[in-house]
A and B are shown apart, each in its own frame.
Chain A
């Protein structure tokens, strides 16, 4: 089992460019999440999905879009990158009992710099 993988690991963009981050999990988890981690702010939820074909906004969704066309994949898109989106992005998945008791399994992170 690879667990949760993220592609790419590092990326540098220029302001206004677009890109897609890919998250894949092989644990057959229902729920998937995208977070960003900034110094002193912990992890903030961008978007999440409770199943294939469904997505929902988290705490900081502006400037991002997501898609969950396949259960194992969760894509995060930046349509027009801004320097404020410079961050480390983490994907996570969980079995999703609906009770909130499942821990999340995290990917290794993607370090994105927007110049």
Chain B
């Protein structure tokens, strides 16, 4: 069975602080894909990143970075110098060699001015 855990239900930070959102997954497959999505207050879901199970290189995109560690089954997301516009619910998701996504429960990030 596949499962995604996001233990942090809500996080509040002050603008310009760095924040890391945790994602731990479970799967018995050796080939799988991990995703992060952002859901701002407007409600739409926005794709942020995809990573396959064979690529453990960390990725940086502007203020966003992702740390994938197969040894701990984690795919954590860090926002550097957070901004108010980063306030949203962030979802981690897992997809194996198939059609189904399994989403975590989400982490609500509030960035205070």
CB-CB < 8 A to A31: which residues of B? 99
Is the Cβ of B33 less than 8 Å from the Cβ of A101? yes
Contact string against B for A residues 19-61, beta-carbon threshold 8 Å, 1 for contact and 0 otherwise: 0000000000001010100001111110010100000101000
Q: How large is the interface on B (under 10, 10 to 19, 20 to 34, 35 or more residues)?
A: 20 to 34
Number of A-B contacts (CB under 8 A): 59
B11 at the interface (CB under 8 A from A): no
Give the segment of B39-47, B57-65, B69-77, B79-87 that binds chain A. Answer: B39-47
Is the Cβ of A48 less than 8 Å from the Cβ of B99? yes
Is the Cβ of A40 less than 8 Å from the Cβ of B45? no
Pick from B96, B101, B105: contact of A104, CB below 8 A: B101
Bound CA span A99–B53, Å:
12
Q: Can you list 18 A-B contacts with CB-CB less than 8 angstroms, sorted by A residue number?
A: A40-B106, A42-B4, A42-B6, A42-B91, A42-B103, A43-B91, A43-B101, A45-B101, A48-B99, A56-B99, A90-B45, A98-B97, A100-B33, A100-B96, A103-B35, A103-B50, A104-B47, A109-B44
